[in-house]
Amino acid sequence: MAAVNGAASPVRRSSTLRARLRTLIVVAGAALSIVVVLAAVVLVRLIDRQQAVTETYFTAITRADGAYIRLLDAETGLRGFALTGDPVTLEPYDRALADDVPFRSLAGAAARDGSSDAVASAARAAADASQAWNEEFAVPAMADVRASGTVGAEDIERGKTLFDDARVAAQAYIDALRAERDSALGELHAWTWIGAATVALLVLSAVGLGVALWVTLRRWIVEPLDDLAAQAQAVSSGDLHHRVVVTGPGEITDLADDVDRMRTALVDQVQVLEAARREVAEANQLLTEQAQELVRSNRDLEQFAYVASHDLQEPLRKVASFTQLLQKRYGGQLDERADQYIEFAVDGAKRMQRLIQDLLGFSRVGRVGGEVTDVDLGEALAIALDQLSEAVADSGAVVTHDELPVVQGEAPLLVQLLQNLVANGIKFHRPDVLPSIHVSAHRVADSWELECRDNGIGIDAQYAERVFVIFQRLHPKDVYEGTGIGLALCKKIVEFHGGRIWIAQPDGPGTAIRWTLPAPQPAPHDSHHESEPSNA
């Protein structure tokens, strides 16, 4: 078999796909991590420069320009007060110096914000020059005007020099701020270009890794799987001797080995199936012959039924009628033994007729097809009771029933079923008790479960299955007459209708026979529902 099946020799297992993918993912992850870290550094630096330009330097320059304007307003107000002596003209001076000397608070802010030494030094110089002009000229000048109404020429010249120094220092501070802002703006532009380049690098890295991943996966997975699929297709097309060998990662080579082992097992199974097919063909031939024999047997059975119903019953009727006539005409005229012999003959002829009729009825169930219709079991029970009217009257039996449902079946067979069950309840009654029989029904899923309960002698639980076997009797025929076919016929009728029949243990004396019958299925468009039977 090894030579026929082409069993694979051991192949060195290559590195697994899991290990390859792990290495690929680690390398790709490291490369992407470097690019991402670089992008994060660029982004942080870009945000820092943008914040410095748009917030830090913008705010500092705006405040420096405001301080410079307040310094000019203070000088203008002081000069007007010196010329006019009107205190109203000091309003710009008072407003400019209401919070602080110009540039004094800016110098402190520059020191706290960590500005460059040149900016912090320029801020302190502007603050010192402004304070010197205010303390050394402005305050004494206002005192002189209030005291004498004028300021000396020497003081005015010295004040002009001090104010020029303050204005030059303020302008130097503003120029230093703008120079640093321009430097930060240049860095912002540079980092913006670096950021764009980093994003482009990130995109190119992602694309490159994607392409590399696709090429790698195609070489490691797609191509080996395509090769495996092609070889498996060759095997499935009928070339069972084609050896499946695939190069690639360990998992795929293992899969190829499994497929090849499956191929070898399939070859073995095909051989077994070929042998089984030959056996099935022989068995089928035998079944065909047996089926033909069964057809011939059924034809013989039908012929026998015809003979039994016509040719056999005709002489039996003559025997029965002449023995009854002999009994009627010569009864009492012969000796007692002759009368007993005649009675035996009459009884035997009658029992033979009943047996033949019961056998014919049993054989017709399921063989002579009738029309399947919706059958009202209430009406079927009424017909059965009408046919049993003589037995009911003679025994004094009381037959009651609940509201019985409509089921699907052959009406004559269902009438026969109810007639047999009620007749059994009448026949097997207790000698000192009048027969009482009750028929009830309730819905169980898609079927109706019915029960025929009597108060008769009952059936021992150990014989619950035996009573449905044909010709099985639990009592001698001289005690309870019958052919032993009645309940067997009931079982055959119920099973023919797709139900089942059994003996239930009643909660009192008597027998409870239960059986199921299919309920009519409503049409798809029918919206009404079957109602449960109510107790009458």
Reported as a pLDDT band with limits 50, 70 and 90, residue 53 is confident
The Cα 494–Cα 475 span in angstroms is 24
Mean pLDDT of 418-441: 85
Predicted pLDDT at 11? 43
Q: What are phi and psi of 480, to 5 degrees?
A: -130, 115
Burial degree of 496 (CB within 10 A; 0-12, 13-18, 19+):
middle
Report domain extents, the chain: 17-228, 240-294, 312-364, 368-518
Sheet strands side by side (includes 501-504): 398-401, 436-444, 447-454, 512-518, 501-504
CATH fold match for the domains 17-228 and 368-518: no
Predicted pLDDT at 107? 59
The Cα 413–Cα 420 span in angstroms is 10
Q: According to the CATH classification, is domain 17-228 in 1.20.120.1730?
A: yes
Q: What is the pLDDT of residues 490-535, one digit of tens each?
A: 888 888 888 888 888 777 788 888 888 888 776 555 444 444 443 3
Query: Is pLDDT at 55 greater than 80 in this prediction?
Result: no
The Cα 126–Cα 109 span in angstroms is 13
The Cα 32–Cα 300 span in angstroms is 91
The CATH number of 368-518 is 3.30.565.10
Q: What is the pLDDT of residues 308-329, one digit of tens each?
A: 656 666 676 767 777 777 777 7
